[in-house]
Structure 1
């Protein structure tokens, strides 16, 4: 196993651990906790964090085309594993930093019930989801609808965003009265409890294991290695838990 801590110590010993930048590609669902973690990491390390937010599927294509990301915080575990197999990352650097949770949410109080029965009997014209081909949370939403036997019935109502962030924005803006979003988008970061929500039971979709990966562009970069080390520490894990993720 690639040992981030050992690499960090080696770089320190070499005297090249001066302040630097790390460019991190971040899955859209992790936007909130990433802001808090990056701020704390910068304050503690002196390094600068540059973040790009987006859909994991798009990040894969960008990395394969030479995008200069040094670290990937994906919304799944398949994409990082694939990049590692294909030689686009430091071998053995992959680890799960969070377990995502899917929620059916509406800003309207009382619209979404505690069992999600609104999906089968509610009157709504649009249901927002992330693109299941690009975003793992979108795939989880589709799995949930199939499990409920509602996929074909609700297909005409689906409004797809490129990422879970866009799906969430569809609901916030009123373009869709409800939608499948990430728990982190409605919890944590001082967000007030608003609207109504159904936390989708885990057995209705494949676990959303979100993996981190040290990409090829960051394998010799002190800031990238230090950031991943910080991500595994207690302060970062406390933030991740506060946003409703499993660990």
Structure 2
């Protein structure tokens, strides 16, 4: 092999580096349903490590996030807590067709932060040993709609109405209970699992008491050419992401 001068080898190495493919890190802006806050933070960290991309998340009630998208908010991906709003986003032309899928199935619980606060959730609601019972606004938050369906299922909507306090989102609803402003409330199981101060008392409400909380994601038109947005949606379907989602108290689609 012919001897290559040291200076020439340096030029060749520099040329090879310049010609080699590089992975450019990008950012994806995501509108995320409030119940998925803690889960998203864990997912985002792993996503950054695996892809180099970063995630910028805005959390809120699904209804309010949908309204922001309709008003031109700069999001690349919409992660709702229901199916209806992503369907609307797709049918109204704000989402990319055939990108919508269920990333999680939520679980509603009745929660009191004190241990041994009750034995049976339905009896607790019937006896009403609380001044305030928190739930999310059923008009904007799918978990609020599910809570309303539970109350109707046990036949207590009229009786409980004077004691109900409604949060704008499931995140605010959880804060009502955690802070003691409400003695109990209907919250997401994922929120209780992420709460650092102990499990308290919860009733895992039977799934047939409310319509399934299928949470869907969709790529928005703004993000259709964003490599990081496509990578995020692919990542949500990965085995590693699914493990995290389940660890936070969700079911996932088969």
Question: What TM-score comes out, normalization by structure 1 length?
Answer: 0.91
What is aligned with 1:4?
none
Q: Say if 2:33 and 2:59, in contact at 8 Å, map to a contact too.
A: yes
The match for 2:249 among 241, 244, 247 is 244
1:116 counterpart SS class: helix
The match for 2:74 among 68, 86, 89 is 68
Give me the whole-angstrom Cα distance separating, in 2, the residues matched to 1:24 and 1:228: 11
What is aligned with 1:112?
118
| Structure 2 residue 215 is matched with structure 1 residue 210 | yes
| Structure 2 residue 199 is matched with structure 1 residue 194 | yes
What is aligned with 2:184?
178
What is aligned with 1:153?
159
What is aligned with 1:234?
239
**Per-residue CA shift, 1:109-133, capped at 9, x if unaligned?**
1223244310001321100000000
CA-atom RMSD in angstroms: 1.4
Q: Say if 1:16 and 1:222, in contact at 8 Å, map to a contact too.
A: no
Give me the whole-angstrom Cα distance separating, in 2, the residues matched to 1:78 and 1:219: 21
What is aligned with 2:3?
none
What is aligned with 1:3?
none
Q: Say if 2:33 and 2:80, in contact at 8 Å, map to a contact too.
A: yes
Q: Say if 1:17 and 1:222, in contact at 8 Å, map to a contact too.
A: no
What is aligned with 1:12?
none
What is aligned with 1:96?
102
Runs of 4 or more off by more than 6 Å in structure 1?
none
Once the two structures are TM-superposed, the CA of residue 192 in structure 1 deviates from its matched residue by 6.0
The match for 1:141 among 147, 153, 157 is 147
For these two proteins, the number of residue pairs brought into alignment is 232
**Per-residue CA shift, 1:137-185, capped at 9, x if unaligned?**
0000000000110001000101000000000000000000000000000
Give me the whole-angstrom Cα distance separating, in 1, the residues matched to 2:23 and 2:174: 39
What is aligned with 1:80?
86
2:29 counterpart SS class: strand
Unaligned runs of 5+ in 1: 1-14
Once the two structures are TM-superposed, the CA of residue 194 in structure 1 deviates from its matched residue by 2.3
Q: Say if 1:100 and 1:207, in contact at 8 Å, map to a contact too.
A: yes
| Structure 2 residue 36 is matched with structure 1 residue 30 | yes
